[in-house]
Amino acid sequence: MSGGTRPYSFVWLLAAAQLVAWGSLYYAFAVAVVPMEAELGWSKTSLNGALSVGLLSWGLCAPLVGQWIDRHGARAVMIGGAVAGGLLMVAWSQVREIWQFYLIWAAMGASMACLLYEPAFAVVTALYGADYRRAITAITLLGGFASTVLIPVTQVLCDAVGWRHAILTIGLFCIVFVGGIHALLLRPGDGKAPHQPQAVEKTGGPLVLSPVFLGLAVWFTAYGAIFTGLTFQLIPLMSAHDLDSGRIIVVMALIGPMQVFGRIVLLALGRRQTARGTGAFVVVSMLGSVTILLLAPGYFPALVAFALLYGAGNGIMTIVRGTAVPEYLGNARYGATNGALALPINIAKAASPLALAGLWSATGSPRAVILALLACCGVALAGYLTATFMRKS
């Protein structure tokens, strides 16, 4: 497979840059907050509020970034995202006041919009034609190891030299490695959309007002709320049902490998995979996994089944997110369309943990949290069905 004159190694280098970018700009946060809390005295709520600000900023910036890529290509924004993100980590390593941290993360959201997944998907969708699914699958396959690689590295650095020097080191490495790969790899115009005055559905209406787009938006937004909500609430949910720490660790440890397994299966399927087929699996797996949490929240064998089903579905969903736009709506203005979808998704990701924590506090019931997640699964199913059945053949 090649993208014009690009060998398949082009995809793997992009994937390596995504691994480091995700590990640096996103996952390092999870490690640094603990020593930051100890040194600076800021609460976990205050620290995680900065991450929510970053996710909101990401969503607000994503449509603009997508439009830029469609018009000019991805090279400038991806290099800029890597350099700016690394410099923001350097600034992060020097923070003394909470307002400084929030300001840095507001800007970090813009850097992530310029760098993480969607811009890379736009590049390979434009370059690889009918093979875009395999390229996106390969990028998410390697990118899926970001937490596995960078969280331990960040922890080792924090233990060895302290969180400030750890964040500083990772930020500088992001500039050199990620920025360097994109500077050497990408050409002006990579990811640029074919010239069309306006992307329209076959009915002739604006694409972002089409029922297919709205169905995708509802589906992906509801899923974003489920994923982020479970990310922050799963351990408390299991702890609330008296599951011991050893079993909790086993359940959590199963999710990552199952994400990778799901992506490997899709990579093996190649062109035989479709966003409709894999999307159906994701919707069913989310409904099934959350139903398991509702019916057997403290039963360890059931929670193992939950982890297997949820992990596989979540790993595959990342690929569906990249492949659904060209399959459902066509390649025209891929960047702008994906950016428009990212706005409500990231708003949901930012709001979900706070909303579920508030629901738990108000009701005193972990079951209420699970029921809310199950309701989100129903909304996601409705969005998937709308997009799929309204899609033009």
How high is the pLDDT of residue 228?
85
In terms of domains, do 73 and 155 share one?
Answer: yes
pLDDT of 273 above 90: no
Whether residues 168 and 238 fall in one domain: no
Which of 185, 215, 246 is at the close of a domain? 185
> Are 179 and 30 in a shared domain?
yes
- Indicate whether 87 belongs to any domain: yes
Q: Are residues 134 and 19 in the same domain?
A: yes
Lowest-confidence range among 120-129, 191-200, 276-285, 305-314? 191-200
Q: Same structural domain for residues 162 and 213?
A: no
pLDDT reading at 8 higher than 90? no
Would you say residue 347 lies in a domain?
A: yes
- Structure confidence by residue, pLDDT tens digits, 154-209: 889 999 999 999 999 999 999 999 999 999 999 998 988 765 544 444 434 456 66
Instruction: Examine residue 154 and state whether it is found in any structural domain, yes or no.
Output: yes
Listed residues 122, 151, 185: the one ending a domain = 185
Give the Å distances, CA to CA, from 389 to 213, 280, 384: 12, 12, 9
* Range of weakest confidence among 158-167, 263-272, 283-292: 263-272
Give me the number of domains the chain comprises: 2
Residue 334: pLDDT above 80?
no
Q: Are residues 298 and 332 in the same domain?
A: yes
| Residue 268 domain-assigned (yes or no) | yes
Q: Which amino acid is at 27?
A: Y
- Is residue 192 in a domain? no
Domain-located, residue 212: yes
Q: Mean pLDDT, to the nearest integer, of 59-81? A: 92
Final residue before a domain boundary, out of 136, 151, 185: 185
Q: What is the pLDDT of residue 198?
A: 47
Q: Does residue 232 share a domain with residue 276? A: yes
34 and 124 belong to one structural domain? yes
Residues 214 and 338 in one domain: yes
**Residue 223 included in any domain:** yes
Average pLDDT of 322-338?
Answer: 80
* CATH code, domain carrying 70: 1.20.1250.20
Domain range for 40 is 8-185
pLDDT at position 378 is: 96
Question: What mean pLDDT comes out for the span 325-346?
Answer: 82
Question: Do 179 and 221 fall into the same domain?
Answer: no
Q: What is residue 332's predicted lDDT score, i.e. its pLDDT?
A: 67
Does 178 share its domain with 220?
no
Higher-confidence residue of 100 and 145: namely: 100
Tell me: do 145 and 215 sit in the same domain: no
Q: What is the pLDDT of residue 208?
A: 60
- Percentage above 70 pLDDT, the chain: 93
Residue 193 in any domain: the answer is no
CA 380 to centroid of chain Cα atoms? 17
